[in-house]
Every structure is written in structure tokens, then in C-alpha cells.
Amino acid sequence: MIVRRIVLPSLVCLLVAMMPLACSDREAPAAPVDNGDVTEVTISNFAFSAPTITIDRGETVRWRNTSGSFHTVTPDGHQVFAERQTNTQGQTFETRFDTPGRYRYYCNPHRALGMTGEIVVN
């Protein structure tokens, strides 16, 4: 009886929370686009277009929201850029990376869903 009162409602809540992911008619985000000195990462369907991208020092990364849902690009352990928020389809912002290293970031509201990324600067 206790199992039914605790486990069953918890399971139902989990399934309801995950329904938007299963019912989405959107395709997975496209791979990042490299336009010379600017590499574009799309934000769509609770994912960044690539978990890891590699660029050269002095190049720029542009994030583009293609879903219109609220997302953030939040630095994870560095201060190369400040947290950015987006909730408008087509909205973009850019950051230039001048120092070699690994720069992780995540979407604050969707981090638990695995919405993370990393930029490797050579």
C-alpha cells in the first residue's frame, strides 16, 4: 500500500514531465556550422547542436535559439562570458575565444536533461 502511495505518483509525475521530450515533432539540432572565424551552435529541442566543438584561438562561437523556448548558455567554471538567456526564436549572441583551453557550458533550466556543451580552443 505504501509503495502505491509513494512510487506510483512519483512515476506518473516523471512520465508527465518527460512527455514534451517524447512528443516533440522537431528534429534534433543540426551540427554546428563553421563559417571561417565563426562557428554556430544551435539551441533546439533541449539540446545544443554538438556536445563538443573545437575551434582555433581568436575564433568566435555564435549560439542561435531555433526553438523559441527559454534557454540559457551558462559558463561552467570559467568567466570567458557571462550567462546569456534566450527565449526568442532566431535570437543569437556571440563570444570570441582568445585563450586556449576547455570551456564547458550548460542550459540552467535543462541541465538535468543533459543540455551541456564544451568548446575546445586550440
What are the domain boundaries of the chain?
27-121
**pLDDT for position 10:** 53
Query: What's the rounded mean pLDDT across residues 7-21?
Result: 46
Per residue in 27-49, pLDDT tens?
A: 444 455 555 689 999 999 899 99
Per residue in 67-92, pLDDT tens?
A: 889 999 999 999 999 999 999 999 99
Q: Which CATH architecture has domain 27-121?
A: Sandwich (2.60)
Which long-range contacts (C-beta less than 8 Å, at least 24 apart) are formed by 75-81?
A: 75/103, 75/104, 75/105, 76/104, 76/105, 76/106, 76/116, 77/104, 78/103, 78/104
**pLDDT for position 56:** 96
CA 90 from chain centre, in angstroms, equals 15
10 against 93, higher pLDDT: 93
Q: Work out the pLDDT band at 50, boundaries 50, 70, 90.
A: confident
In terms of DSSP bridges, do strands 52-55 and 116-121 run parallel, antiparallel, or are they unpaired? Answer: parallel
**pLDDT for position 26:** 41
Residue 92's alpha-carbon distances to 14, 66, 68, 84, 107, in angstroms, are 32, 9, 11, 10, 15
What's the pTM? 0.71
